[in-house]
Each structure stands twice: as C-alpha cells, then as structure tokens.
C-alpha cells in the first residue's frame, strides 16, 4: 500500500544511464615494465604478467557504548608476483649473490599501462625497494611449448607519478 508520506527523490536518470564505452577498457597486454637494480635499468619485456597489491594492517578498536568494535588502519605491507619467460638470469644472479655474500639486493619495478584506444590515458606505478622471496634456479620441461617462471616479491614503498584520467560520467 502506498503511503502519502513517502519521500520521493528526484533522480537525474541520464546519470544512471551513462555507461563505460568498451573502448575504454585498458588492453591487458599494452604495458611496459622496467626493473632498476643498482642503477641499471632493464626493459623487462620477458614479463608475461605482474600483479602487486597493498594490504592494510588494521587493529580492532573497542568503543564505549557500542557492542561492536571499530577498525583502525595502523600500517600496510606490499607484495606482488610476476610470471615471465625463462630467458633471463638477472634474478638468479641476485639469489646467487645472496647465497655467496649474504647481501640482499633491493630494486624498483616500474609498470606503465597505456592503451591508445582508451580515453583514460596512461598510468605509471613504481614499486620501490622490491625484494624477491626466492626463485627458480634451473628448469626444463620436455612436454612444454616454452618455459616460464614465477617470482614472488615484497616492496616497501610505491609512487604513482602518472594516473588514469576519469572517464566521462564518473563525476
């Protein structure tokens, strides 16, 4: 039953009808990846995929007068993973150096996503002070079409010097 007291909101249906254009989806393979180790910059064109994420550390906060607890962010940690073609020894050299000397080498990874068809432009993220968790020392597979390897890493900081533009209709 309809009540006379209901509040009706005036809505701009044009805003609700706006959708993203398919051309604005960013192509998954149109990216660049560079790794900088001790001042040497490498075009990491061997990469098949890379994903890095930030996880916030939260603490539960008791609040007087509430039966539930709140959550407060108290820090964060960064981690990532990559798969790349098995045709570079750069990371194996870092593992060997750690084994021989105990020196752990930190490096930066820069990823730029840019699809010229999309209206969002480009985004560049720099993962700073990356450190690999370990890695493949040697590998073969007589049944495979090609060899690849996975690499897990952590990072201590990041920058976003270039950001995607907002799509029409987002504001």
**Residue 171 banded pLDDT, cuts 50, 70, 90:** confident
Token pair belonging to 55 = 């996880």
As a whole number of angstroms, the distance between CA 115 and CA 28 comes to 9
Query: Taking 90 as the threshold, does the pLDDT of residue 8 lie above it?
Result: no
Please compute, for residue 90, the number of CA atoms within 13 A of its CA located in the half-sphere on the CB side: 24
Query: Taking 70 as the threshold, does the pLDDT of residue 75 lie above it?
Result: yes
| Domains contained in the chain, CATH given | 28-58+74-162 (2.30.110.40)
Query: Taking 60 as the threshold, does the pLDDT of residue 1 lie above it?
Result: no
Query: Taking 80 as the threshold, does the pLDDT of residue 133 lie above it?
Result: yes
Query: Taking 70 as the threshold, does the pLDDT of residue 6 lie above it?
Result: no
**Residue 33 banded pLDDT, cuts 50, 70, 90:** very high
User: pTM for this one?
Assistant: 0.86
| Digit-coded pLDDT (tens) for 87-127 | 999 999 999 999 999 999 999 999 999 999 999 999 999 99
Dihedral sign, CA of 8, 10, 14, 15? negative
């Amino acid at each position: 039953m309809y009540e006379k007291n209901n509040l009706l909101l005036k809505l701009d249906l044009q805003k609700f009808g706006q959708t993203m254009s398919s051309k604005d989806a960013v192509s998954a393979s149109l990216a660049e990846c560079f790794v900088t180790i001790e001042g040497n910059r490498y075009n990491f064109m061997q990469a098949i995929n890379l994903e890095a994420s930030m996880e916030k550390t939260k603490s539960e906060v008791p609040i007087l007068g509430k039966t539930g607890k709140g959550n407060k962010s108290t820090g964060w940690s960064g981690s990532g993973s990559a798969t790349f073609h098995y045709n570079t020894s750069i990371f194996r050299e870092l593992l060997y150096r750690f084994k021989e000397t105990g020196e752990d080498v930190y490096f930066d990874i820069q990823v730029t996503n840019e699809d010229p068809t999309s209206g969002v432009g480009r985004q560049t993220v720099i993962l700073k002070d990356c450190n690999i968790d370990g890695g493949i020392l040697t590998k073969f597979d007589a049944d495979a079409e090609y060899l690849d390897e996975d690499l897990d890493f952590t990072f201590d900081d990041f920058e976003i010097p270039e950001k995607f533009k907002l799509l029409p209709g987002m504001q």
